[in-house]
Chains A and B, each alone.
Chain A
C-alpha cells in the first residue's frame, strides 16, 4: 500500500484501524503488515480466496486467538475513540470481547432457552435484575427481527429454531451486549437464500448503530451490503477501497482476477 494510505480512502470517522498488523500461528505467519481502516457505522467486507487470512484477521479484533497457546500478535489494532491498541497484552481481552461482539459461520446457540441465550452477554456482566434482562432481551430480539416469531416461546430451547432463526438469535445475542463493533464470519454460508436475504437486511439495519466487519465468500453479498471492501490474498491486504469503486474499477490485477472469478 505504498502508493496510497488506506485510511485516507475513508471519509467517515474511524472506529478502528490495524497498523502494520502481523499475526502468527506459532511459526505460521498468517497476516502480513495489514493496514485496514474500519469506518464507524459502516459495513466493511473482507473478501479473498480460502486460507488468505480473513477469519484470522477478524478473530484478532476480539482477541479470540488468546484462547489458544502459541498465537502471537505484532503491530497494532487501534480502537477509537479511546485510541488504545486492543491487541496489546496490557489490554484485557475480556473487556475487548464485551465491547466487540462476534457472530460465527455456523449458528452456535447455547443448549439453553431462547431467553437465556440472548441474556447471556448481560449475565456475564453480573446483570441479574429480571426486569432489565427482559427489556434488553426484547430489544435485542426486535433488533434481530426475531421478536415476533419467538415472543411466545422465550423459554423454548434455542435448538428448536430453524437454522436462519438460530443465526438471527446469535445476532440478537451479540446485540444484547450493546457492542461497538460486531464481527461476522461468513454468517450466511450455512443458510438458504431466503434466510440469507433476511440476515443481509438485518445487517443493513444494524449498521445504523453499530460498526460492522464481515467476512464473506460471496462477492455479490459483499457488493450488496458493504460500504468498504478489503481484498486479501496470502495473508496480505492487497486492495482496500469503497465497495462501489473496488468492484467497478479495481486498481490491482489480483483484485480484478478475483472479483471476475478468474481464480479463487
Chain B
C-alpha cells in the first residue's frame, strides 16, 4: 500500500513530532515546578500561621507578648497608604497616558518620554525610597508620614498605570475614534465619552496590579522611615480633644503589613514567627483578592467590547 515516498514522509513526520513531545514535556515540567513551589510555600505559611488568624489578631496592637500581639496598626496603615497611593497615581497616570497617546505630537521628545516611562517601571523600589526621603521628607517636610509613603508608592506604580492605560487606549480600533470624530466630537469629547470608558477595563487592571505591588513593598517604606512598632492609630478626622483636622491622619506616623511581618521575623522568639506567618497570609490573600478583582473587572468590561 504505502509507497516508498510516503514511508519516507512518515519518517520525517515522526522525527518532527518527537520534538513536539520533548518541548511539551519540558514546558509542562517547568510550569508545574513553578506552581508546585509556590503552592508549597503558601501551604507552609498557612500551616505556620493559620492558628493566629483570629479576630483579635486584626484588632490588637503589636505587643511584647506574642499571643496578644496583632496587626491593627499595620493593616490600617497599609490601607491608608494605599488610599493615598491610589489618589495620586491614578489621576496622574491616566492623565499622562491620555496625553501621550492622544494629544502629544509624535516626535522624538514624546518617544524619549515613552522610553523613560517604560524604564522607570524597572527601577528598583529602594531608589524610589531614597528619592522620596530627599524630596518628601527633607525638602517638602512631609515627615515620616502616611502622606510620604503614599506619594512614594504612588510614584513607584505610576509607570505601571501609564503603560496599562496606554495599551488599553491603543487597543481601541481607529474606526471607533473616527466614528466619533466624524460626528463632530472634539478631542476631549472623544476622550471622555469613548476612550476612557472603553479603556476602563485595562485602566482598572493596571491600577489594581500597581496597588497589589505597592501593598507588599517594604524597602522604600523603611527608607522613608516607617516605624516598626506602633501602638496607636492615625487620628480620625474631627475626633479627640482638641478635634483632629480632616487631613491630620496624612501626617501621622505609621507602619505597614510587610514591615510588621519583617519586624516579627527578626525577633528570636519563635512565637513571633507564627505572627509573621499569619501576617504573610494576610498580605498574600489581599494581593490575590486584588488580582481576582482585576480579572473579574476586565472580563466584565471586555464582554461589552467586541473587537
* A residues apposed to B, CB below 8 Å: 62, 64, 67, 69, 94-95, 97-98, 101-102, 104, 106, 108-111, 120-121, 123-125, 157, 159, 170, 173-174, 177
Contact = CB atoms under 8 A, between A and B. Distances in A.
* Chain B CB within 10 Å, residue with most, of A102, A109, A110, A174: A110
Contact of B306 (A97, A124, A159): A159
Given A69-B105, A111-B304, A124-B189, A97 B183 contact: yes
Contacts of A98: 183-184
Interface in B144-182: 173, 175-182
Nearest to A96: B184
B116 interface: no
5 contacts: A102-B182, A104-B175, A124-B184, A124-B189, A157-B304
B184 A95 contact: yes
Given A104-B175, A157-B304, A110 B184 contact: no
Contacts of A104: 175, 178-179, 182
Given A95-B184, A108-B173, A124-B183, 9 more contacts: A98-B183, A98-B184, A104-B178, A108-B179, A111-B176, A120-B180, A121-B183, A124-B184, A124-B185
A173 B183 CA distance: 8
A95 B185 CA distance: 10
- A-B pairs with the 6 shortest C-beta distances? A98-B184, A108-B175, A121-B183, A97-B184, A102-B182, A108-B179
B106 interface: yes
A121 B175 contact: no
B305 A64 contact: no
A132 B178 CA distance: 26
Contacts of A62: 182
B60 to A, nearest CB: 49
B194 interface: yes
Interface in B282-307: 304-306
A105 to B, nearest CB: 9
Contacts of A124: 183-186, 189, 193
B193 A120 contact: yes
B198 interface: yes
Given A69-B105, A157-B304, A159-B306, A108 B186 contact: no
Nearest to A92: B184
A69 B106 CA distance: 9
A111 B306 contact: yes
